Amino acid sequence: MKNVILSIFAFSMLFIGCSKNTQSTPSPVADFSYTGANVTAPAIVQFTNNSTNATSYLWDFGDGSTSTDINPSHNYTAGGVFIVKLTATGAGGTNSVTKNVTLISAIPPSVNFSFTGDSKEANDTVSFNNTTSNATSYSWNFGDGTSSTLPNPVHVYTSGGTFTVTLTATGTGGNGSKSSTVTVYNPTQLKFQVINTSGTPQVGATVTLYNNVTDYNNKTNPVISSTTDASGYFLASRIPSVAYYYRITNGCLDNYGSSSTNHLSTALTLHTLNSYNAIVINGKGSVYLSSTSTNPYEVWLDGNVQLSSMSGGSTYTINEVPVGSHSVRVLQLSGYILTATDETFTVNVTCGNTSTVTFP
């Protein structure tokens, strides 16, 4: 009987000991929290491990990446809903938990721009207005071998042509580009050489352009006034496309003549270099006429009327007469009726000098 009691006691103690050993090894409970989600990717999410009864961990971030860190951080490069799984392992076994982590997909750049200065001439400024959205950096290609990274650049094309301008914009959502063409014209130009009667180029001659006969005759409102270069060439650039009148002087030399003589017959061709033959300038002088008669005279120079009625006893000067020999004809008027009485004089005009003709 005693032996039976001892056996029961021993079995009871063994059962109690086994129960105590089983209760001392609890199972892991996996749990975590996170911050940094619900923003536009790319973004870094920080994970905090709240697991218990575990000694090792395996994270699956739902985008093909993993980690065994206790409290890892992870960079999500794209938007989406990612199922993050944490597996916690301890002496009591293994336990897992999953949670959804949401990142917002970045919006690709919407590239657009406009510009002012199209259809202008070379060396004009073209201004670009960038209206792109969802971008942080920009790269411009102006189509002439130059570029810029400014958001809203300005550019000067030094020659005419049609240029393809491309804007590439980059942002968190990637990059995009847009192209557009800019038309730039060559300037309207006028070019000719100035020579004397011997064919020698006239260096430093002053050329003045007028766009109408009134200004030419009155020497007012010049469009441009410039001097010839070392080879005797005159070049006017970026001027209106009209048929110009011109005056040329170089000391006592000039292009003496009427407005019909010193006139381009047609308007300049727009956006083109308009080249003309050399223009000859001659010496100039003047002819001084003095009358002792009381009767009026009509005065002619080389067959052209200069003065229809010159009072008797007065003087008259014909200016800008080309160098050389000229005929001066005077017709005496009687009662303002032309008579047969006339005289013709030959005068030799020299550069910068005055020749005198005296008649009764």
What's the CATH number for 189-280? 2.60.40.10
User: ω into residue 42 within 30 of 0, thus cis?
Assistant: yes
CATH 1.10.1490.10 fits 32-103, yes or no: no
Q: Between residues 211 and 337, which one has the greater pLDDT? A: 211
Q: 3-class DSSP state for residue 19?
A: helix
Sheet with 297-301, strands from edge to edge, namely: 304-310, 297-301, 324-334, 337-349
The pLDDT of residue 1 is above 70? no
Q: What is the pTM of this model?
A: 0.59
Per-residue b/e over 252-279, b at no fewer than 16 CB within 10 Å? Answer: ebbbbeeeeebebeeebeebeebeeeeb
60-78 pLDDT per residue, tens: 999 999 999 999 999 999 8
Of 10-19, 35-44, 212-221, 274-283, the least confident: 10-19
Q: What is the pLDDT of residues 78-112, one digit of tens each?
A: 899 999 999 999 999 999 999 999 999 989 999 99
| pLDDT greater at residue 55 or residue 5 | 55
CATH number for domain 113-185, candidates 2.60.40.10, 3.40.50.720, 1.20.120.140, 3.30.300.30 = 2.60.40.10
d(CA 95, CA 316): 125
Give the amino acid at 262.
Answer: N
Q: Looking at the chain, list the stretches that DSSP marks H as alpha helix, in order from N- to C-terminal side.
A: 2-23, 213-218
Q: Rounded CA gap, 174 and 353, in Å?
A: 81
- For domain 285-359, the CATH architecture is Sandwich (2.60)
CA atoms of 121 and 77, how far apart (whole Å)? 47
Question: What is the identity of the amino acid at 337?
Answer: I
Listed by start position, the domains of the chain span: 32-103, 113-185, 189-280, 285-359
> In 3-state terms, the chain is what percent helix, strand and coil (to 5)?
10, 55, 40
Encode pLDDT of 279-290 as tens digits.
998 888 888 888
Backbone angles phi, psi at 83, to 5 degrees: -90, 110
Instruction: Give the mean pLDDT of 161-170.
Output: 97
